[in-house]
Amino acid sequence: MDIKKQLEMIKRGVVEIISEKELISKLEKKRPLVVKAGFDPSAPDIHLGHTVLLRKLRHFQDLGHRIFFLIGDFTGMIGDPTGRSEVRKRLTETEVSENAKTYKKQVFKILDEKKTEVVFNSAWLAKMTLKDTLELMAHTTVSQVLARADFNERYKSGKDISFLEFMYPLLQAYDSVELKADVELGGSDQKFNLLMGRELQKDFGQESQVVIMTPLLLGLDGVNKMSKSLGNHIGIDELPEEIFGKIMSISDELMLQYYELLTDENLDEVKKMHPMEAKKNLAKNIVKQYHGENLAETSLKDFENKFQKRDPFTKLKLETEPLRANLCDFLVQDKILPSKGEYRRLIGQGAIEVNDTRLKEPDFQLEPSKEYHIKVGKKRFLKILFK
């Protein structure tokens, strides 16, 4: 595949590349690149938030590059301090080992097992002597580490930062030296750690890795990043119908991010779809990835059956009306609402929906030959086709 097409695949759902020029230079060498992504087994289950990086690894894999799925069993016992406002609870060796086994089982729902090299960073970090560790520490300074935003905040507020946490970015960076990585993938919150890998490789006489960062997938609440501890996650090993139902619960705004980061669907085509159909298609796509075509189809039918039973529009007679392009005019002229002021008040409260989408702006225009399901408040439902 030519470089332009490779870049198109690589850049989908990516927020930053440091640097694209260096990436192109590496691709021009016409050799498989060493691409790594590290995962600390801090919890036993992989959720859709983790799969953003795994899918990007798969893109590189499909392009013929050499993939390292790195399990941070050693660093996992320290715990990544990224985004933490206090010292993180350390995991035991047994906990990390058990979680790592689950990770290995789940990741091959996304990655090609035959083309994936699974490595554990304890293979080299556990063998380091005190002398090795001290020499590694000489490659950075306290001021450099304190420049990191979350450390800086904790330091200024007088909260504890352990020496172990200071070591975490350096140990993650050394993984890149050990693997001679050409590319490291990570979430946007990992920028400090990823850039330290570039610098450490220079110190060890290696060519610096290219850093590719993906956005953090928002959870079901649409506010916080997906996290098991926040209860806003979707685990890839959850039952198919549970995954389907959870996807159907997300907002229309969040749906497009999920399409971009969790599927390979054409986004321009998705934008042309009705929001309800687009969401069902998304849910089916994700269930199919982790449970297969048959269970995806079954989950879709089960959802539609349940949805139709409680859909207030199914029993309504379809009324045909002459086109009045402005929704406000239609509702007031047909005496569904008493005034334009009441219409604007309900819009402000988010109490008017058209085809399952809550209106945010009052100037909504209707189109001819298009069926509309209009919900006004909690109890008024209209099924209208405008001529």
Structural domains in the chain plus CATH codes: 3-214 (3.40.50.620), 240-310 (no CATH), 319-386 (3.10.290.10)
Strand positions, DSSP E, 201-300:
210-214
Three-state DSSP state, 352:
strand
Q: Chain centroid to CA 335: how far?
A: 45
Model confidence, pTM: 0.71
pLDDT tens over the chain, length 387 residues: 788 899 999 999 999 999 999 999 999 988 999 999 998 776 667 899 999 999 999 999 999 999 999 988 888 776 555 544 444 455 677 777 777 777 777 888 899 999 999 998 989 998 999 999 889 888 887 777 777 666 677 767 777 777 777 788 889 999 999 999 999 999 988 888 899 999 999 999 999 999 999 999 999 988 888 988 788 899 998 889 999 999 998 988 899 999 999 999 999 999 988 888 999 999 999 999 999 999 999 999 888 877 656 667 766 778 788 888 899 999 998 888 888 988 998 999 889 999 888 998 899 998 888 889 999 987 788 888 887
Sheet holding 319-321, edge to edge: 319-321, 380-386, 371-376, 352-354, 357-358
Contact 323/366 with Cβ under 8 angstroms? yes
- What ranges in 204-273 are assigned the alpha helix state H? 240-248, 252-262, 267-272
Q: What is the pLDDT of residue 244?
A: 93
What's the one-letter identity of residue 193? Answer: N
The pLDDT assigned to 90 comes to 59
pLDDT value at residue 91: 65
Please give the C-alpha separations between residue 363 and each of 329, 340, 381, in angstroms, as whole numbers.
10, 11, 20
Q: Residue 14's CB: how many other CB atoms inside 10 A?
A: 18
Distance, in Å, from the CA atom of 79 to the CA atom of 70, rounded to the nearest integer, reads 15
CA dist., res. 25 & res. 213, Å (int)? 18
Tokens, residue 375:
């919900």
Q: 357: which strand partners?
A: 354
* Virtual torsion, Cα 254, 260, 264, 270, nearest 10 deg: 60
Q: How many Å apart are CA 100 and CA 44, to the nearest integer?
A: 7
Distance CA 216, CA 214 (A): 7
